[in-house]
């Protein structure tokens, strides 16, 4: 599968999909695909062509693995692309510097020994592919099946071909050798339970997916303790001490959850340190600076120019800008919260109420089916509204926008998942139903999701395969029996991508997987007192989940594009929120459980004050999260300083030139004095 020339294995990492043409030999020189291949080769990339059933594929490689050392070595092309992109990498000197070809030995290698991470390589590939411009100085006419295209000077060839519909897709390719290794050591290694080769996952899929699986593994491992405890609580009768069991279980699980989240933060920091990803401000807010250049901060250019002199006048526009952005986000959040409360809450309550009122099982079933259809539509609508709102916000980076989406959409799912259960418990005090509902949801959701994930992907793949075969058949040719898909690239192309169910613009499939996990956590924590066995179910479900998700990523889907973030981002805050919520709901559950005859009365005044107190407590802790701890201009100043400094250093150090430091500093000084 990989071209083995002598002692090297060439790793094709990106594929371009082109339409299959009825090639005419005499036009070959002007044919756009031929031109593209020539240009790619001219720029030092290794290009292999693959003709599939319905399409043609260009496999691009810039990475070579020598047979002897088994450590991937990038070609010069990749290195120079990295230098052109000024990719900031940690050096042996302990700080991130923009990559330079001459000083490449100073940069710290990845855990697997290679120089660039998958995220960096993918950025380079993109840069290389989109960087092919017409440098002949005149229009070049390209031909495609008789059609003529005009490639203007300084125009990007790949972009041109994409806009003309010639390049259908650019997608990352699986590395067959590594994929098989991961399949063996990770996805099919069921007896490892929660252990996973996290470093290998990181170097194959990038930091975001690596962190997710690390989180999933740690969560499942920690879950074993309350799972065992929950099993004991559910099964054993403690006799006269029975009335103490549930409150103790409540206390223990709450402490467990708080500790787990704290230790996860530590683990995340450790992961980042091992992967040599530098975060300036700690793991909880770390992605803010991750791989970000000064220019990608969301401040307008004219603001950043004069920064550095500490005068009050220059701080003001920053502060105004910060508050402007903050106000927009805030009003959006208020809008989302109000619309969830005004539209979704009544709807959910109406459904729960109708369900409780109806006695006929058939009508119940019909009602549930209708309800499920409606919420499908509602969730999609909510996702679209959320994306629209976010596009109007000013967020610092793509990952910030993704987090913003997560908060908004989670609000929706939170209402959808839990409000009905609350209704059943609090108003009707029906614990048997509650347990049934929880059991059903936990098992069904697990089975349903796994089934959906697998079957949907397979159906999509089959359908696309069918279409490709049909196309091939309709083109004629000797249709002898069944047509097989021989090319691996084509198979991968036909596989579905790892995409989110809503908000595809901002998130990928991790959104769905994380959402599922968060909803499960909420389910088991918030109703811990009502159904301690849920922890055991969740543990079993998660152990299965690790492997099925791994299989999904390795087998049924295209290799996902790597993402920049290196934390679980917004999900951490959502988990914290769920822990606080669970304290409140479990208290309510305990009241319901021990006060079955309604003897403990809450007079309206007392109840009002209690509610007030809780709202205030939540507000207090919410506020400390909402308002950023550092003014934007301070942050901007710091980032600029660091960036400036590092630019100077890198030039100084990497080129080993005897610079005139004093002469460089002095004009600056004089300039400041003049100010």
Ramachandran bin of 476, using left for φ above 0, alpha for ψ from -120 to 50, beta for the remaining angles? left
The token pair that represents 664 in the structure block: 């460089």
Per-residue burial over 319-342, b if 16 or more Cβ lie within 10 Å, else e, is eebbeebbeebeebbeebeeebee
Dist. CA 635–CA 649, nearest whole Å:
21
CB of 53 to a second copy, least distance (A): 47
C-alpha distances (whole Å) from 534 to each of 410, 416, 434, 447, 540 are: 22, 19, 12, 15, 10
Choose between 384 and 625: whose C-beta lies nearer to a second copy.
Answer: 625
Which positions ≥6 away from 351 have C-beta within 8 Å?
367, 371, 420
Residues 64-103 that bind a second copy (CB under 8 A): 91-95, 103
Among 474, 480, 599, 675, interactor with a second copy by CB under 8 A: 599
Residues shown for the chain:
675
482 contacts a second copy (rule: CB under 8 A): no
CB of 573 to a second copy, least distance (A): 11
Instruction: Tell me whether residue 64 is exposed, middle or buried, using C-beta atoms within 10 angstroms of its C-beta: 0 to 12, 13 to 18, 19 or more.
Output: middle
657 contacts a second copy (rule: CB under 8 A): yes
Mask: binding to a second copy, 603-642, rule CB under 8 A, as x and -? Answer: x-xx--xx-xx--xx-xxx-xx--xxxxx--x--xx-xxx
Dist. CA 642–CA 100, nearest whole Å:
18
Among 184, 475, 591, 671, interactor with a second copy by CB under 8 A: 591
Dist. CA 84–CA 98, nearest whole Å:
9
Instruction: Outline where 91-175 has alpha helix (H).
Output: 118-130, 157-163
600 contacts a second copy (rule: CB under 8 A): yes
The token pair that represents 458 in the structure block: 């397979």
Residues 305-364 that bind a second copy (CB under 8 A): 310, 315
Among 138, 476, 601, 674, interactor with a second copy by CB under 8 A: 601
42 contacts a second copy (rule: CB under 8 A): no
Q: Could you please report the per-residue DSSP string of 546-573?
A: HHHHHHIIIIISPPPPP-S--S-THHHH
- Part in contact with a second copy (CB under 8 A); list of ranges 36-44, 448-456, 469-477, 654-662: 654-662
Dist. CA 327–CA 217, nearest whole Å:
38
- Part in contact with a second copy (CB under 8 A); list of ranges 55-63, 470-478, 555-563, 647-655: 647-655
Choose between 66 and 628: whose C-beta lies nearer to a second copy.
Answer: 628
C-alpha distances (whole Å) from 245 to each of 235, 251, 255 are: 12, 10, 16
Dist. CA 256–CA 252, nearest whole Å:
6
Choose between 232 and 642: whose C-beta lies nearer to a second copy.
Answer: 642
Choose between 469 and 640: whose C-beta lies nearer to a second copy.
Answer: 640
Among 296, 354, 659, 671, interactor with a second copy by CB under 8 A: 659
Among 189, 192, 284, 379, interactor with a second copy by CB under 8 A: 284
183 contacts a second copy (rule: CB under 8 A): no
Residues 228-267 that bind a second copy (CB under 8 A): 247, 250-251, 254-255, 258-259, 261-263, 265-266
44 contacts a second copy (rule: CB under 8 A): no
CB of 672 to a second copy, least distance (A): 9
Phi and psi, residue 608, nearest 5°: -60, -45
573 contacts a second copy (rule: CB under 8 A): no
Question: Which parts of 361-466 are beta strand (E)?
Answer: none
CB of 572 to a second copy, least distance (A): 11
- Part in contact with a second copy (CB under 8 A); list of ranges 57-65, 210-218, 279-287, 425-433: 279-287
303 contacts a second copy (rule: CB under 8 A): no
CB of 476 to a second copy, least distance (A): 59
Dist. CA 635–CA 285, nearest whole Å:
13
Residues 102-131 that bind a second copy (CB under 8 A): 103, 105-106, 111
474 contacts a second copy (rule: CB under 8 A): no
Contact 538, 227 (CB under 8 A): yes
# residues near a second copy by CB under 8 A: 90
In the chain, the N- to C-terminal Cα span, in Å, equals 64
Choose between 39 and 322: whose C-beta lies nearer to a second copy.
Answer: 322
């Amino acid at each position: 599968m990989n071209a083995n020339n002598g002692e090297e294995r060439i790793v094709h990492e990106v594929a371009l999909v082109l339409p299959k043409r009825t090639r005419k030999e005499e036009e070959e020189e002007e044919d756009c695909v031929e031109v593209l291949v020539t240009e790619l080769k001219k720029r030092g990339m290794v290009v292999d062509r693959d003709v599939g059933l319905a399409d043609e594929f260009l496999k691009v490689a810039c990475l070579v693995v020598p047979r002897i050392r088994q450590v991937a070595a990038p070609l010069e092309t990749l290195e120079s692309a990295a230098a052109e992109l000024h990719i900031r990498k940690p050096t042996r000197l302990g700080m991130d510097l923009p990559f330079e070809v001459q000083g490449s030995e100073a940069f710290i290698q990845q855990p697997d020994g290679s120089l660039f991470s998958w995220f960096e390589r993918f950025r380079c590939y993109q840069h290389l592919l989109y960087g092919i411009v017409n440098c002949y100085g005149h229009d070049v006419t390209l031909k495609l099946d008789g059609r003529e295209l005009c490639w203007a000077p300084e125009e990007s060839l790949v972009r041109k071909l994409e806009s003309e519909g010639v390049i259908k897709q650019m997608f990352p390719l699986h590395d067959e050798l590594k994929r098989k290794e991961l399949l063996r050591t990770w996805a099919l290694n069921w007896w490892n339970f929660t252990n996973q080769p996290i470093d290998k996952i990181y170097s194959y899929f990038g930091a975001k997916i690596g962190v997710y699986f690390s989180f999933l593994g740690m969560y499942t491992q920690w879950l074993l303790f309350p799972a065992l405890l929950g099993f004991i609580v559910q099964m054993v009768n403690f006799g006269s001490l029975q009335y103490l069991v549930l409150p103790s279980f409540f206390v223990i699980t709450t402490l467990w959850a708080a500790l787990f989240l704290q230790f996860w933060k530590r683990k995340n920091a450790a992961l980042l340190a091992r992967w040599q990803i530098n975060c300036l401000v700690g793991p909880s807010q770390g992605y803010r600076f991750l791989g970000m250049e000064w220019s990608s901060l969301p401040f307008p250019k004219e603001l950043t120019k004069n920064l550095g002199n500490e005068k009050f006048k220059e701080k003001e526009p920053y502060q105004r800008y910060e508050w402007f952005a903050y106000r927009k986000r805030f009003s959006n959040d208020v809008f989302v919260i109000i619309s969830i409360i005004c539209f979704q809450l009544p709807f959910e309550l109406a459904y729960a109420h109708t369900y409780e009122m109806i006695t006929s099982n058939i009508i119940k079933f019909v009602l549930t089916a209708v309800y499920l259809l409606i919420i499908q539509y509602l969730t999609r609508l909510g996702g679209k509204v959320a994306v629209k709102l976010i596009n109007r916000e000013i967020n610092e980076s793509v990952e910030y926008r993704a987090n913003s989406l997560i908060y908004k959409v989670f609000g929706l799912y939170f209402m959808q998942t839990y409000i009905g259960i609350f209704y059943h418990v609090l108003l009707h005090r029906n614990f048997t139903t509650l347990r049934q509902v929880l059991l059903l949801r936990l098992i069904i959701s697990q089975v349903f999701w796994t089934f959906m994930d697998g079957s949907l992907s397979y159906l999509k793949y089959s359908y696309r395969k069918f279409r490709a075969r049909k196309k091939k058949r309709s083109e004629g040719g000797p249709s002898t029996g069944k047509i097989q898909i021989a090319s691996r690239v084509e198979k991968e192309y036909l596989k579905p991508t790892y995409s989110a169910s809503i908000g595809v613009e901002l998130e990928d499939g991790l959104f769905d997987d994380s959402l599922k996990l968060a909803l499960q956590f909420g389910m088991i924590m918030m109703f811990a007192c009502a159904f301690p066995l849920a922890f055991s179910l969740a543990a079993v479900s998660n152990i299965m989940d690790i492997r099925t998700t791994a299989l999904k990523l390795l087998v049924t889907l295209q290799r996902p594009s790597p993402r920049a973030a290196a934390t679980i981002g917004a999900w951490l805050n959502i988990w914290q929120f769920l822990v606080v919520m669970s304290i409140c709901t479990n208290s309510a559950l305990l009241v319901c459980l021990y006060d079955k005859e309604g003897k403990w009365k809450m007079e309206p005044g007392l109840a009002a004050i209690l509610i007030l107190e809780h709202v205030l407590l939540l507000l207090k802790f919410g506020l400390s999260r909402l308002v950023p701890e550092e003014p934007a201009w301070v942050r901007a100043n710091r980032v600029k300083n660091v960036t400036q400094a590092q630019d100077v250093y890198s030039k100084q150090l990497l080129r080993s030139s005897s610079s005139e430091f004093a002469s460089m500093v002095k004009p600056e000084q004089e300039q400041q004095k003049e100010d």
